[in-house]
Structure 1
């Protein structure tokens, strides 16, 4: 009976994987065509580069339901098109599964890449290939490897970092494409935040799990910094005006004799984050802090792709001398930034 149940679960997982794969194909093709459109407009002098910014603002203002098309993302799509353009022109990455010619686009002015190898890996794979490979041959090598071996982005980055391409070229190692396949969980292949953006789903559907995983790890890391920190709680509740608010992580620092609140954001820094953190500190000072303790301190951790922000929120009433003393005992910003980067890189995989 258990074996039959397992077969049903296998069918469900396989169907989910195929659905995600089809979404990925459409998304990659769309990003290609957006990049192609922008490239053609700039090449014909119809657009200056400032028009890309205007396009991003237009989409954000007029169509806020369309996610994943901010300025940085649009530039990535343009880079994606120009990066692979010579591949398409030379037909060097024609699908190894379907050997037909590239399908004509439904919109005649655009190229359809759905029958090429490009759509067989996720957008995050392409971002890695565009930024970490140094030549067309190296990119082609890793692209084919990803498809055949079902590499996750993390595994792809590991292979590039280990210089697998160079070692194979020098004959020091056999290419994995000619040996045994790596058993990679195919369900990991398309866990790509860009797919969720492409579907216009609310970010909260996966944000909470990621945030909780990061909170647990950053908590353990902070406790390793020394015996000054005493952990009080995570999602620590403070009630103001009958409404409950939750601080991600709350510590007490023995040397500073004050509460230290950590807020972790899985998005880019926004000014209102500091305002919210200061609100938490005021609430902690009024409702949690003991009379003999010093004013609470907050540390804000933000992340967006490769940008980490670590900012201390100090009470404005504190003197420069006290602020300097606080900063001496608090974790070094560079160390927190490095650890935050490592945590995000690991958890996003």
Structure 2
């Protein structure tokens, strides 16, 4: 007479429940880690884009004397070209300008934008730092904590 198999015993070619659970937990952790890394990379690129837009606006305003009407028009044109993307509102275009203007001198002394912690935190956090703090050293300190 053959011994009875427990219903918990794996069939031939199947992993045991504890080993399978370990595998699934490991895979889920790797997937979550990759999702976080991807989101951080996207955020960093978005912040760099906003920096570049702010920089071009500031430079054109200095060179050409452009005013707020031109920025409003630019916002409308960008929204028209990229429908469904919220980042190009009038208010956000003005925030991009303020963002660049706030850190322009810091970036010149650092010489490498990527080393600034402002590129590692979400856009909304950057806006809060600019609105709430007038001192760049304080802003950079809070940005480097990444937990605002």
Give the TM interval when normalised to the shorter protein.
0.7 to 0.9
Query: Is the 1:32–1:81 contact (alpha carbons within 8 Å) kept by the matching residues of 2?
Result: yes
CA drift of 1:49 comes to 2.0
Q: CA deviation at 1:87?
A: 1.2
**1:38 lines up with 2:60 in the alignment:** no
Confirm whether residue 119 of structure 1 aligns to residue 138 of structure 2. Answer: no
Structure 1 residue 65: Cα displacement: 4.5
Deviation at 1:63, TM superposition (A): 3.7
More helix by share: 2
Give the total of aligned pairs.
129
Q: TM-score, normalised by structure 2?
A: 0.78
**Match for residue 5 of structure 1 among 10, 24, 29:** 24
Q: 1:73 aligns with which of 92, 96, 100?
A: 92
Cα distance between partner residues in 2 of 1:34 and 1:83: 14
Structure 1 gaps of 5+ residues are 92-100, 103-112, 157-349
Q: Is 1:90–2:109 an aligned residue pair?
A: yes
User: What is the Cα deviation at residue 136 of structure 1?
Assistant: 2.0
Deviation of 1:66 (Å): 4.0
Task: Provide runs of 4+ in structure 1 moved above 6 Å.
Answer: none
**C-alpha contact 1:26 1:114 (8 A) present in aligned 2:** no
Structure 2 gaps, min length 5: 1-18
- The separation in 2 between residues aligned to 1:63 and 1:120, in whole angstroms, is 25
RMSD: 1.7
> Could you tell me whether the CA contact under 8 Å between 1:59 and 1:66 is conserved in 2?
no
Higher strand share: 1
Contact 2:78 2:88 in 1 (8 A): yes
1:182 alignment partner in structure 2: none
Alignment of 1:334-349 (within 5 A): none
